Each structure stands twice: as C-alpha cells, then as structure tokens.
Chain A
Amino acid sequence: GAVVSQHPSWVICKSGTSVKIECRSLDFQATTMFWYRQFPKQSLMLMATSNEGSKATYEQGVEKDKFLINHASLTLSTLTVTSAHPEDSSFYICSGGSGDTQYFGPGTRLTVL
C-alpha cells in the first residue's frame, strides 16, 4: 500500500512556542489530506481538510488561526500549532488518499509543558 510519513514522530515544547508537523505522501500524490487529533483514550477526530493550492477547511470548534495548515505541494501538508498550550497536547495524525483508500501517517505526539 501507499506510504504516508509524518515528522517529527514526537515533540516536547514549552508553552507559547509554535510547532510544525509535516505530513508527506511518499509514493502518491494527494490533492487532499486530512488532519486528525486524538486525545488520550479517545478516538480520532477530524480537525481540518487540507487542500493543495487552496485554503484548508476547518471543523467546527477548531481555531484556524491557531492550527495553521499549508498544503503547498501534492505530497506535503504541514500543520503548525501556534502558541501551543498544555491543552494542545495530543496525538496528531494525517491521512492522504490514493484511489479509494485513505492512508494514515504514523502520527506525531505533541507534549506541551
């Protein structure tokens, strides 16, 4: 199957700093990628839809100015958590589609101190 990578796999940062997470489709092109968030012992919830060459679409309750998404190429989408706070600590997972199937990245664990 197709491969999606994420970098970094984990990150610890101080409150108030910004963190960028990369999501790459390694062997396919994705005009659309999805960003999910998973809090401990909870399921994945869609945060936003990343569209290549245009603005991202955010789910209700997700602050677009806090979670900046850039999808500058068909193989790369980035999520920047700006001015991170402890409540942003979570597991962030991206996915990209090839054909009928969505392929998920391995996730990025963010811990904000």
Chain B
Amino acid sequence: KQEVTQIPAALSVPEGENLVLNCSFTDSAIYNLQWFRQDPGKGLTSLLLIQSSQREQTSGRLNASLDKSSGRSTLYIAASQPGDSATYLCAVQRNAGNMLTFGGGTRLMVKP
C-alpha cells in the first residue's frame, strides 16, 4: 500500500527565505505526483503536476522535482512571502484516472 510522508510537518520562516518542502513515497510505481496548496478551511489548489517521466516542473517562484526511483519529491519556494502561508500537500497517483494518495502536509507560516 502506498504511503506518502511529508517533512517537516510544520515550518515557520521569515519573509524572503528560500525553502524546501519534502515528500517521500514508498511505492515508486506512480503515474504522477502533484503538489497542492490548501488555505485554512478551503479546498485544494493545484500548484504543480509532475508526470512520472519528468524530473521537475516550474511555475513562478515554485519548483518541484521528482526522483521516482528513490521515491522523493521536493517543492522549492523561492523568496517566500507572507501570502505563501498555507498547508502544502503532495499526492501521488498510481495510474491515470485513479485516486490520489496524500501526504500529511506541511503547514507553512511565513512571517513578515
């Protein structure tokens, strides 16, 4: 059974710092991996999706990498801002059209 772990569970940083969020998964047979943002009491916002054949994806200040063989992904946030404060979730999908298995999330607080 796939298990997804995110480290750290919580992170507090001053504004402007570059930071890395980590995600690991136990079964490397994935179709894709996705990073989401969730604000308190809200739904999910998809940030980046990496197909299993890809190594990384970038969107603005966000960069996500994928090392499928080692079961790891990282989300890099450059020049963090208070508006980045949220919970970040990674999730893996085994096959197209299948359910997603989520990690426990990293709660990020960026202080002004």
The interface of chain A, by Cβ under 8 A from chain B, is: 1, 32, 34, 36, 42-46, 49, 91, 93, 95, 97, 99-102, 104-107, 109
Q: Which residues from A are CB-within-8-Å of B102?
A: 36, 43-45
Is B43 a contact of A104 with CB atoms below 8 Å?
yes
State the CA gap A26–B51 with chains docked (Å): 25
Is B43 a contact of A49 with CB atoms below 8 Å?
no
Interface centre among A44, A45, A100 (most CB of B within 10 A): A44
Given A43-B89, A43-B103, A46-B99, decide whether A104 and B44 contact each other with a Cβ distance below 8 A. Answer: yes
8 Å CB contacts to A: which residues of B57-112? 89, 91, 93, 96-97, 99-105
Q: Which residues from A are CB-within-8-Å of B44?
A: 44, 93, 104, 107
Is A102 a contact of B42 with CB atoms below 8 Å?
no
Q: Which residues from A are CB-within-8-Å of B41?
A: 91, 109
Residue of A nearest to B89 (CB): A43
The interface of chain B, by Cβ under 8 A from chain A, is: 31-32, 41-44, 46, 49, 51, 89, 91, 93, 96-97, 99-105
Partner of B105, one of A43, A107, A109: A43
Other A-B contacts than A91-B41, A95-B100, 16 sampled, CB-CB below 8 A, are: A32-B97, A43-B104, A43-B105, A44-B44, A44-B100, A46-B101, A93-B43, A100-B31, A100-B32, A100-B96, A100-B97, A102-B99, A104-B44, A104-B46, A107-B43, A107-B44
Residue of A nearest to B9 (CB): A41
State the CA gap A93–B102 with chains docked (Å): 13
Given A42-B104, A43-B105, decide whether A102 and B43 contact each other with a Cβ distance below 8 A. Answer: no
Is A97 a contact of B42 with CB atoms below 8 Å?
no
Is B42 a contact of A107 with CB atoms below 8 Å?
yes
Query: What are 6 contact pairs spanning A and B, CB under 8 A?
Result: A44-B44, A45-B102, A46-B99, A100-B31, A107-B42, A107-B44
